[in-house]
Amino acid sequence: MGQDPHSDTTAAIVAGCIVAFVGFGFAATFGVFLRPMSLDLGWGREVFALSMAIQALCWGVTQPLAGMVADRQGTARVLAFGAVVSALGFFLRGAVIDPAVFIASGVVVGVGTGACSFPVVIVALGKVVDARRRSFVLGLGTAAASTGMFVAAPLSSLLMSLIGWQSAILVIAASFLLILPVLVFIARVSRPTAQDGAGDGFARAVRTAFGDRSYVLLFFGFFVCGFHVAFIQTHLPAYIADHQLAPVIGAWSLAIIGLFNIAGSFLSGWAGQRHSKKNALAGIYFSRAVVIAAFVLIPLSPASVYVFSAFMGLLWLSTVPLTTGLVAQTQGLRFLSTLAGLVFFSHQTGAFVGAWLGGRIYDATGDYQGMWWAAIGLALLATLLHLPIRETPGQLAQAET
């Protein structure tokens, strides 16, 4: 008897959600280690922040390269490589106590998470479902990543309290190997969409996409999302503890962001199927500006932290299914992994700036106020960038039909 294609697709979607859950959760909430590690080791916060920034940038550089390999050879091999390298990177962070090694580990973790992170997974899933279901499946994969974030933040805090931060990091390293067994299900449905000898085609596709104003606006708009996400997930727990609130509140703030992002991801996936994706994105960025401004202006308390985290969670990665969906809608599917990866590189460039600059400004001034106001200004800029985007198929998408 032959295999049921529908059953294979369902199994691949479940497996993809598991990969997104494991591959994103601990990497996204590693900021809970910033303050305890810096205090215990006598490091300035820029050491930790620089490692996280390099991780984000290398993730961004790896993402389009991983996308090219996935377009040519399928996704499962890329994810397996990423899982093993991520495990190695986190092992180095826990096993070798040296600031230079810790900073350099950002390269290893960045390459690994760039190859096994949820953007690689959701693009692969987006290719094997029809266009009507694509936004929903992209939202589902993003929600799975957010669930990982919800679980990982308090679990990391618990592990630190039970076995110390060093052993906790080693547990994180081992968790990435859980990705390997489920890749068989993704391998069954993940097929190459570009020929092995399509080097000229890749270059032409990239040139064509960057000649499309809508793609360029998505590229620069996603920089802002990365700036927000990396700054907040790296520095929010420390910012909260700096104001004499319990450190566990910082861990739960990231967990709440992850929890509410599950709803935000589903809502954005649903909205992308029924309404204008560019208007939804503009609304998300404007809402971020309002929420961050309120958080900065209202006196800090556990209640204000949790309310801020809930609202930011709704807006957190809700940009991903809409942005990826717009890339698919305007540029087509043939080179989607590559072109979505390049847009994600912009996101991770913003993440580099957000993570590193937060540590640099804190060490120089003793607070994060300048970073919060920069986040507000960039959110308003991103709102304006998304309004002129065209939602009809561009040259690449038209060529496919």
| pLDDT, tens digit, 9 for 90 and up, residues 226-268 | 999 999 999 999 999 999 999 889 989 988 998 898 888 778 8
Q: How far apart are CA 204 and CA 225, in angstroms?
A: 27
Question: What pLDDT does 1 receive?
Answer: 41
CB 335 within 8 A of CB 194: yes
Half-sphere exposure at residue 108, Cβ-oriented, CA atoms within 13 angstroms: 16
Low-confidence ranges of the chain (pLDDT < 70): 1-6, 128-132, 134-135, 190-200, 400-401
Question: What pLDDT does 193 receive?
Answer: 59
Half-sphere exposure at residue 42, Cβ-oriented, CA atoms within 13 angstroms: 1
CA neighbor of 151 nearest in space, from 21, 247, 15: 21
Distances (CA, A) of 232 to 46, 153, 174: 15, 13, 26
* Segments making up each domain of the chain, as ranges: 5-395
Q: How far apart are CA 31 and CA 236, in angstroms?
A: 8
CB 270 within 8 A of CB 280: no
What pTM was computed for the model? 0.79
Question: What pLDDT does 4 receive?
Answer: 56
CA neighbor of 327 nearest in space, from 185, 143, 123: 123
Widest CA span of the chain, in angstroms?
A: 68
DSSP 214-246: HHHHHHHHHHHHHHHHHHHHHHHHHHHHHTT--
CATH 1.20.1250.20 fits 5-395, yes or no: yes
